[in-house]
Structure 1
Amino acid sequence: MNESSSYSYSLAELASRIDALVKGDPDYRIDGIATLQTATADKLSFLANPAYGRYLESTEAGAVLLTPKAAEQFSGNALVLANPYLGYATLSHLFDPCPRGQVGIHDSAVVHPSACIDSTAAIGARVVIEAGAQVAAGVRLDAGVVVGADSVVGEQTHLFPNVVVYHGVTIGKRCIIHSGAVIGGDGFGLAPGPGGWHKIAQIGGVLIGDDVEIGSNTSIDRGALDNTEIRAGAKLDNLIQIAHNVVIGEGTAIASCVGISGSTKIGKGCIIAGQAGFAGHLSIADNVQIMGQGTVTKSITEPGVYSSGAGAVMPVREWRKQAVRFRQLDNMAKRLKQLENNQT
């Protein structure tokens, strides 16, 4: 079966899904989505970033998602709406080639007799579901997934291959967890004493709300006493470390390679850019944005945009000069203070 026969929609059908107006032929058929530069006559495209407006005149797309203002300057078919990027996000799922899971339990899966598996769940090859676990309606567990004892996977949630969910974890509805993620491993709890470090048992769990997405190879540690929490609608990129007893607020988005130390609480609606790092036991207000490589060492009580460090890339010879000057700052400050004192 070719792509066009699998995914084919009229502009009228697409418009109805995103509350858009059709400019042009409502019966024109679309079988995919592409960029303005690469789209062909059977593809839908979109203009969300004004920087790409220069491609609008030459695009070969069969139709384009446009704002009302941009549509005035376009002679081809268009779906007109206030937010073309959101329209693209919604319609992209119609053309998603990701294979669908097959309902039922694969012959090679290992399911404990006390686990509860809904009849509509799709359990893939070599999945392991341990004692007391619950897998709800419409769940998809791809090959190699492990669901630990007494853990819960909510309705319509999809765990991609080789996700590991430890014991005592609760995952909400419609979540997406990508390959290699580890949910509920031990937090880094150690007490110094005679003879070295002594491990602290991590007896809390992990609570993940509805509509959360977790990227590949992200680790979310279980709580030491209380639970680690990822609240509804949060979006986590790949390669993120979330330590024990961290709380991530509703709708917060975190980019790749962020590290969050234990017991830090991040508010709702925050945006955290790549490689940011958080010390432990902090409180971050709602609607805070942390720029890339930001180092957060104290609590933030007011919404806003915060950054730290020197992110500028420069030739190594120039960087070495700057490094020398940085080491001289303390001495320069003392000399300046002495001059000010002498003047008074």
Structure 2
Amino acid sequence: MSRTLFELGEALDARLQGDGNIRVERVSSLAHGSSSTLAFMVSRAHLSELHRTQAGAVVLGEEWAAECPVPALVVRNPHAAFARAVAMLHPERKPAPGVHASAVVAPDAQIGAGVSIGPHSVVADGCRIGANAVIGPGCVLMSGATVGAGTHLVAQVFVGSDCRLGERCRIHPGVVIGADGFGLAKENGRWIKVPQVGRVIIGDEVDIGANTTVDRGAIEDTVLGDGVKLDNQIQVAHNVRIGEHSAIAGCVGIAGSAVIGRGCTIGGGVGIAGHLKLADGVHVTGMSLVASDLEQAGAYSSSLPAQPMRQWQKNAARLRHLDEMARKLKQLEAEVARLGASAGQSE
């Protein structure tokens, strides 16, 4: 869908620099633009690409406007403005409302106006689906599940019994919401399954990436607040609570009953132990292990970066002797203190 630069500028509340009649049809990077594309810039690292760009126009901040050789939309937040421009130039194609002939929908399910239910989907008894929601191909909604208005289950999404999804969520293929949590009790050397009777409650405008699992609560509910964004292949265990507008990158594992505050960011591959609390505004860098409460906002890191193997082997060998070295250091400190005291007395 093509737009003039003037139309985009009005929609994005941008200052127009250059010819507003230029028409763009799609987005591109600075390096691979053409006369019909819109690119964006957020960092000095791309300044040389900006100087050479062949894009028809660029979204950028005021600090780079004088450097831009093509028409520009000058905004306070180029990344956010570009995201809105992408949505305008590449509008989502939604399926037509209606229930596909191969779908199975319980007679007592409540289906709102404009809902689309795709091929081979199953909507069980007592389910409620809000207006204009999309239930893509192969999705399964178990008894009593609720999907809010405008929410889009892309394909092959499982929603467990009595779980609730808010409005305008986007749930990608392979997501499992409301599987049983890992609840086990041990008796006479054997494991006994603890029934998981909680639910999953998901707020509005939540995005969940492909193949992510959000387990139902053991007794209380697992809760994701409004605006939470989860990447692909994340494990959210039972009774976890994630505060509003937190974002979590791929392959993170969150153990049971952990509480993550509002506005947190968790980098890829992070492990968060169970029953911990992360304060609002905590930022954990990738591949870190969180093994204790993080009680104040700020950035936290752990683990060691990759290094040459021989150097790592030497460090690992020394690590095995760390306890012995610590004991010797204590002894030396005590000896230095004793000698210092003796010297002071002799004076």
For the superposition of Structure 1 and Structure 2, which TM-score range results when normalised by the shorter chain? over 0.9
Runs of 4+ that moved beyond 2 A: 95-99
Equivalent-residue separation in structure 1 for 2:295 and 2:280 (angstroms):
8
The letter for the 2-side match of 1:120 is G
In structure 1, the partner of 2:115 is: 121
The aligned runs of 1:193-232 (5 Å cut-off) are: 193-232=187-226
In structure 2, the partner of 1:3 is: none
Task: Kindly indicate whether the alpha-carbon contact (under 8 Å) linking 2:197 and 2:217 is maintained by their aligned counterparts in 1.
Answer: yes
Q: CA deviation at 1:298?
A: 1.2
Task: Kindly indicate whether the alpha-carbon contact (under 8 Å) linking 2:26 and 2:90 is maintained by their aligned counterparts in 1.
Answer: no
The letter for the 2-side match of 1:157 is T
Work out which of the residue numbers 22, 37, 42 in structure 2 matches 1:48: 42
Equivalent-residue separation in structure 2 for 1:272 and 1:122 (angstroms):
34
The letter for the 2-side match of 1:280 is G
In structure 2, the partner of 1:163 is: 157
Task: Kindly indicate whether the alpha-carbon contact (under 8 Å) linking 1:104 and 1:119 is maintained by their aligned counterparts in 2.
Answer: no
In structure 2, the partner of 1:292 is: 286
In structure 1, the partner of 2:69 is: 75
In structure 2, the partner of 1:96 is: 90
Asked whether 1:28 is paired with 2:22, we answer yes
Asked whether 1:243 is paired with 2:244, we answer no
Q: CA deviation at 1:99?
A: 3.2
Equivalent-residue separation in structure 1 for 2:7 and 2:235 (angstroms):
42
Question: May I ask how many residue pairs the two structures share in their alignment?
Answer: 337
Equivalent-residue separation in structure 1 for 2:10 and 2:91 (angstroms):
22
**Cα displacement string for residues 81-140 of structure 1 (whole angstroms, at most 9, x for unaligned residues):** 111111111111123365321210000000010111113001110010000000110101
Equivalent-residue separation in structure 1 for 2:166 and 2:97 (angstroms):
20
Q: CA deviation at 1:305?
A: 0.7
Say which is worse superposed, 294-303 or 181-190, in terms of deviation. Answer: 294-303
The letter for the 2-side match of 1:117 is I
The letter for the 2-side match of 1:242 is V
In structure 2, the partner of 1:314 is: 307
Equivalent-residue separation in structure 2 for 1:63 and 1:238 (angstroms):
32
Q: TM-score normalised to the size of structure 2?
A: 0.95
Asked whether 1:337 is paired with 2:325, we answer no
Equivalent-residue separation in structure 2 for 1:278 and 1:105 (angstroms):
41
In structure 1, the partner of 2:174 is: 180
In structure 2, the partner of 1:277 is: 271
The letter for the 1-side match of 2:276 is L
Q: TM-score normalised to the size of structure 1?
A: 0.96
The letter for the 2-side match of 1:323 is A
Asked whether 1:189 is paired with 2:180, we answer no
Equivalent-residue separation in structure 1 for 2:266 and 2:60 (angstroms):
29
The letter for the 1-side match of 2:24 is I
**Cα displacement string for residues 286-321 of structure 1 (whole angstroms, at most 9, x for unaligned residues):** 0001111111111111111111111x2122222111
Unpaired runs of at least 5, structure 2: 339-347
Percent identical across equivalent pairs? Answer: 43
Q: Which has the larger radius of gyration?
A: 2
Equivalent-residue separation in structure 1 for 2:324 and 2:69 (angstroms):
66
Task: Kindly indicate whether the alpha-carbon contact (under 8 Å) linking 1:168 and 1:205 is maintained by their aligned counterparts in 2.
Answer: yes
Task: Kindly indicate whether the alpha-carbon contact (under 8 Å) linking 2:270 and 2:289 is maintained by their aligned counterparts in 1.
Answer: yes
Unpaired runs of at least 5, structure 1: 1-6
**Cα displacement string for residues 19-38 of structure 1 (whole angstroms, at most 9, x for unaligned residues):** 00111111111101000000
